[in-house]
Structure 1
Amino acid sequence: MKRLGDTRGATPHMRRRDAIKTLGIGALTATAGCLGGFEQQSAWRDPPLVEDRPDAVYLPAITEGMKMYGKTTTGPFGVALTYSYPHRFWTVAGTELQKTVVEADDSLHLMASLWDKETGTVLPIDAGLTIEVLRDGDFVTEELAYPMLSQQMGMHYGSNYVLDGQGDYEARVHIGTVSKSLHTTGAFADRFESAETASFEFSFNTDKLYDVELKRLGDKAGSRGAVPAMEMMGVPTGKAKGIDELPGTHLGRKTSADAFFDAFVVDDGARFDVDGSYVYVSARTPHNGFILPMMGIRATVERGGTTVVDGDRLRPTLDPEIGYHYGLAADTVESGDTVTLEVDVPPQVARHDGYETAFWSFDTMQFDI
């Protein structure tokens, strides 16, 4: 993983300020608990960052709550719009990680959750969504909402937004075509072909924003683990299905770069649009079990010293029974075969604190059939 500097025009003064805050984390997190008043605003404007973070999922120094502006449906989609303080997050491009800092004029962090309204399956779109904001019908701003992972919200889309003061607004969540990002199978085939827009009326009030809970984790910060996922009024968080719910023969679980990989083989892959067997992988985070989308995974299948599948790329696929997974057609898979997985592209999703150091350097994984 290559870590770069702050995005959005960070100055040397801002980087120096971040370093000072990082060095002062021991004092800031000495006592766990909720924050209030000036201390609260200072915390979200320039939050402490755990020093000596592990190359794994860890408990952040501060956790931020969220509140909901609304929930609706449009076409086949369920959509929720939520908000929190403007906050730091980390974007991913290939193997590079960049920190996006809170700017002085950022008003709030807007988040959209997206799912299939019939099954509740969360829908990862690699191009993200856009959220357009209007006031009295006039354009205010439109920003890309990055596909993003949070320990509390799971898989969602978000970014920091600049508004034109307090008052009433309309937010339009523009959703692209899911099938451009994913192969869809079963009842999901051809289900998400049209672009849709969900509209929300909301009032921006700084007093209500400051009511969102901020909590520091004290001595727990930096230890391996995750904050439990929120219960968000029926909004799915993107938890992967339980192993016992998934079809096919389970070949086992491997852990690499602090991610869990469960491999399966289905003898008759016709339902997944393949001839012969279907080999698939369900990848998820530890602790909260969220799906890990937008990876590049290759598979090699060997039989008695002969290579029968040679480094073929698994296809990101969305299926109503399996959910988000990575699948591969294999003519036949037999007892005694060995399946080797190699991750050559880490998850291309932005991360909140606690996920940014995990899921980078993957070891080769081997499964025996």
Structure 2
Amino acid sequence: MRPRHTRHSRRRGLVAAAATLAALCTGQTLNAVPASAAPQAPRPATAVRTAEDHAARVLATSLADPAWRARLRRAALASDEVDVTALARRAPASLKAALVADDRRIATAKGLDTGVGSLLRLRLGDASMRTALTSGAAPWVAAATADESTATLTAYDSRGRAHTLDARTAPAHPVYVVDIDGSKALDAGLDVLNKELERYGVPSADPGPARASANRTTAAASGGGFWTTRISAVELSDDEEPWFKGAAEIYTLVTGFGQDGKVRVDPVDMPYLDYDGTIYRPNQILVNWSSYKYNLADAVMMEDDGGTNYRDLAKAIAAALLTVTDQGAYIPLVNAVLDAVPDKWWTDDPDYVDSWYTLARSDNGTRHGARGNGWMTVEPYYVQEF
């Protein structure tokens, strides 16, 4: 099962820390990032769902072609996920054009450059359907809606007819699920988030390989290594999930005050954290303390359920964090990050998973999240100079 997180109660369990932050925020007006610049309708998640649903309907009707249906069946049985846009290069031109257009709509809705490539993916809804699909049953096609609380799911057959399915119980009839490549989208999205935060004046470290390179540069410049906080184990709560959902895409926003006294945000991708109820032992660096003024930082863990627009997310976070100034003592920033996201986003994406207030450089042991939805075992780790 993938992690399931209720968005509407995101502040539950965080009340005590909220009072601390509220008393310390300056509330000054920003020129670079106006508060009125919140994203307008349609919401990113809605736009992504619309594109996925259109792709599902187009793919369903395309299955009337026996040769194409057989090719797609072989691909779905051979792989956990199929890049249908790429596979459709050998399909009728109209199908390829429709999928390419939906891919572009999804990239735009998520604030990604169209150069990210195809994001649409197709997979068999549940392993229990393999036998029926192998036996030649004509599959239906459904879109992986971002609404985890849905009770039903709509699937389409090759004649364009809609079938209502139970979202909690996998049907006996084989169903292809159209979704996006979450890992690819998140990787590109965190790169956009990093660049946009920097553009708005919030220092941010690259979440990918460039971050490791920057860390090595820091160590070399200081003539030695640097202290970090490393995750030795992590687990999220075990909650029931719809059968049509794939693996989660988890990332963490580490926040604190940089060496210059300005608030900074460092996105950390956690590509291994796919399923709840599973203990992962990544030995992943979460905080690079050489980037921070104080020996304290906060961490907000999020899940991209498909509809996050990373440009809008960066704008909202920057608008909130740039109002917080260094008072000469550490200020918790978790609530500032959560309050930055417009309320209407929490009915879709991104998901708030959990948060860790005042992680200390000296922390060595298990820390439970403020929301009670997960725990991490952390330890100080010194990165040696090369």
Report the TM-score when normalising by structure 2.
Answer: 0.25
- The structure that is helix-richer by fraction is 2
- The structure that is strand-richer by fraction is 1
Report the TM-score when normalising by structure 1.
Answer: 0.26
Greater RCO between the two (CA within 8 Å, min separation 6)? 2
